Amino acid sequence: MEDRLKDFVAPGSEEEALLHHLDFSRLPLHIAIIMDGNGRWAEKRNLPRIEGHKAGSRAVKEAVESCFRLGIKYLTLYAFSKENWRRPASEVNMLWELLYDYLRKEDKELVKNKIKLKVIGQREGIPPKVCQELARVEALTRDFESMVVLLALNYGGRTEIVEAVKKIIKENKLKPDQIDENTFSQYLYTAGIPDPDLLIRTSGELRVSNFLLWQIAYAEIWITPDYWPDFSRRHLLQALIDYQKRERRFGAVRHPSAQSLP
């Protein structure tokens, strides 16, 4: 583990100070990120939106590496929502091209670090050559366990829930009273994966945009005004430290003695 953190932060940097504040025994098991703001990042620089997506793709690479080095077990990245089809075809096509390039290049890094890639969302609609690459990299990394990266593609939280209901009805194996929260969650795309503990959104938007609606029921939310292409180790460390300061009560009282406080 120490090995993984070698040269992670520069001596004397703000990141180094943040790293000292991190409690490695209380890291979130699962981080989910709504990677937002690529377009605005580009617009601010008078660049075409696609340049923002390219820079965003570099930030993905860095975020995966940073989470791996810190020992985060599950990372879910919202890369393309079902609603994103509403964008101009030229932007949509370029986004798929960028993903294709990412998969062609990053497969080696995933293998080197024994990271499993899993796609969540609907395959139908994704360009066939991208589907092929996704299937290839998923197969290549399927037995890896050091970390799982879930890529949410053509993903919609409501669709995921509707699909789970359909599957339960079609299978016709469960009686109504056998369906509880645990059995239901086994029909979601994320079956077997713990719910996110921490949900990060960049670009300051205060909404969940149809992301993991079921799974984020009790996630802690951390939002930065910075755009996704600028998301760096410093942001990640800050999010983790803020997360560790939160008290997760899950509906209970602060701690048993709090009941007797005035």
- C-beta separation of 19 from 237 below 8 A: yes
Q: Is 28 in the site for ligand IPE (CB under 6 A)?
A: no
Contact of residue 79 among ligand IPE, Mg ion, none (CB under 5-8 Å per partner type): ligand IPE
Q: Is 154 in the site for ligand IPE (CB under 6 A)?
A: no
**Which residues between 219 and 248 bind ligand IPE (CB under 6 A)?**
228
In this complex, which beta carbon is closest to ligand IPE, that of residue 80 or of residue 187?
80
For tokens 């960049």, what's the residue? 202
Residue 81's binding partner, choosing from Mg ion, ligand IPE, none, with beta-carbon cut-off 5 to 8 A by kind? ligand IPE
Task: State the angle between helix axes of 233-245 and 49-70 in degrees (0 to 180), rounded to the nearest 10.
Answer: 60
The one among 9, 48, 84, 122 contacting ligand IPE by CB under 6 A: 84
* Interacting residue with ligand IPE among 207, 246, 248, 254 (CB under 6 A): 207
User: Which residue carries 């509403």 as its tokens?
Assistant: 86
Which residues are designated catalytic?
36, 84
**DSSP line for 89-154:** HHHHHHHHHHHHHHHHHHHHHHHHTTEEEEEES--TTS-HHHHHHHHHHHHHHTT--SEEEEEEEE
Out of 63, 64, 75, 79, the residue judged to bind ligand IPE by CB under 6 A: 79
| Candidates 21-29, 32-40, 87-95, 230-238; binding stretch for Mg ion (CB under 5 A) | 32-40
Per CB under 5 A, 197 contacts Mg ion:
no
Dmax (CA) for the chain in angstroms is 63
156 binds ligand IPE (CB under 6 A): no
Chain-centroid distance of CA 165 in Å reads 24
Report how far residue 200's alpha carbon sits from residue 210's, in angstroms, rounded to the nearest whole number: 14
Q: Which two tokens stand for residue 243?
A: 């997360």
Q: Which stretch binds ligand IPE (CB under 6 A): 81-89, 109-117, 129-137, 253-261?
A: 81-89
Q: Are 222 and 200 in contact (CB under 8 A)?
A: yes
For 84, 95, 134, the CA distances from 89, given in Å and listed in that order, are 10, 10, 21
Q: Which stretch binds Mg ion (CB under 5 A): 29-37, 100-108, 194-202, 220-228?
A: 29-37
Binder to Mg ion among 36, 133, 160, 220 (CB under 5 A)? Answer: 36
Question: Which residues of this protein are in contact with ligand IPE, per CB under 6 A?
Answer: 34-40, 56, 78-81, 83-84, 95, 203, 205, 207, 209, 228
Question: Which residues of this protein are in contact with Mg ion, per CB under 5 A?
Answer: 36
